[in-house]
Amino acid sequence: MLRLEYLAMALNDNMSLYKDDTLFRRVTDDQNTEALGQFNARLDEEPWAVYRLQRAYTPGRRPECKTAHGDRCAKPECRDSSIKGTVYRSVKTVRTGSRTDVGTFLHNAATALDRPVEHATKAHGAGIDRVHTRVRPDSKTYGTVEDFYVTAPAGVQDKARDGFADVWAAMAAGQ
């Protein structure tokens, strides 16, 4: 259960099994150090991966567009960057290895890209390392993209929404 949550949080910052809380934090708060220690030791023994996560948040259509132009409309002027459209996601395994190997790879990549390694702990208690190459200016503006590398246990299948490549190519160029 902890493993599943840890993986979910690594791939998506906002995802945990409890709202405003995480199983990991609950275990910590309960001072269940033995369980935590076992969890970490188990993670050490697993195969790990560096994943690349890309998300393109398209702007939604204005209400008047839906009224005037029906089910489909491709006019850019009918889109509003304050309205949520579709999220095009992609997850890809970049490299696999031991936990130490992928950690080293991520740190070297950060150096090569001249980006910091963000070690997230405060939000959910579990340590998760990420390197962002594209950051959304804010979470309420659409027509924006996000691109990051993260280390987590291996095993997530490569996956992308239909049309991802075209949407990404069009949107990433402008950010």
Residue nearer to Zn ion on the CB measure, 65 or 91:
65
| Residue burial 149-173, b: 16+ Cβ < 10 Å; e: rest | bbbbbbebeeeeeeebeebbeebee
CB of 69 to Zn ion, least distance (A): 4
Q: Are 16 and 5 in contact (CB under 8 A)?
A: yes
**8 CA to centre of own chain:** 9
Q: Which is nearer to Zn ion, 79 or 132 (CB)?
A: 79
**Sites of contact with Zn ion (CB under 5 A):** 65, 69, 73, 75, 78
Burial label, 11 (beta-carbon count in 10 A; 0-12, 13-18, 19+):
middle
Closest CB 119 distance from Zn ion, rounded Å: 44
- Find the length of the chain: 175
Kindly state the smallest distance separating residue 142's Cβ from Zn ion, in Å.
16
Instruction: Pick the closer one to Zn ion by CB: 75 or 159.
Output: 75
Minimum CB–partner distance for residue 58 and Zn ion (Å)? 14
Residue among 78 and 135 whose Cβ is closer to Zn ion: 78
Enumerate residues 6+ apart whose C-beta is below 8 A from 2: 23, 24, 27, 35, 39
Min. distance of Cβ 78 from Zn ion in angstroms?
3
In this structure, the number of other CB atoms found within 10 A of the CB of residue 123 comes to 13
Does residue 10 contact residue 118 with C-beta atoms inside 8 Å? no
Closer CB to Zn ion, 78 or 83, in the complex: 78
